[in-house]
Amino acid sequence: MSALVHPALSSADLLGLFGHFLVLSLLAIGGAITTAPDMHRYVVAEHHWISDAQFSASIAIAQAAPGPNVLFVAVIGWNVAGPIGALATMAGTMLPSTALTLIATRWGQRRRDTRFVRAFKTGLTPLTIGLLVATGWLLARPYVDFDPRGIGAIALIVVSIVLMLRTRISPMWLVALGAVVGALGWA
């Protein structure tokens, strides 16, 4: 076995991890975070490489760090298989989406006024919103389903949604509110 391969995973597992993230990259309309539910299914539910808590922490740590939002993919890969896992997940996520974006952007720019391109862009909005809602539910579920403080978590989610829809308040204030509520043990 190569020194680069994580002891818990075989080369075939790493190739499977890379391949799965490669396919998910092509479905990541709205960003890699929209495919988090399937990432969770693959690395937590199906293969048991990491736990629910590790998965949620991977996303939270990466989202709190400065830099692009896609960093959570590297953290998940790192938690699954160390540096080679981070490389497998990031390469799988970035290669096809980058190539497809370059090709589609050039093609779409030349045809931006056509009915098809306008309809396609309009149709992506509800799809992206649905994928983001699924991701939000996945991240909230462990706290809502299995924790006695679930009512506080649900209240925090509802307050955040209402404030984002009805006001122009900065999302950073909601992050601060969530930190205070969590620190006090209310959610």
Per-residue tokens: 41: 């299914």
Contacts of 138 (CB under 8 A, 6+ apart): 36, 37, 40
List, for residues 70-128, the tens digit of each pLDDT value: 999 999 999 999 999 999 999 999 999 889 889 988 998 899 889 988 898 888 888 88
Per-residue tokens: 173: 């204030």
pTM: 0.64
Average pLDDT, the chain: 87
Task: Report the helix count and the strand count for the chain, using DSSP H and E.
Answer: 7, 0
Contacts of 26 (CB under 8 A, 6+ apart): 96, 97, 100
Cα separation, 90 vs 73, whole angstroms: 6
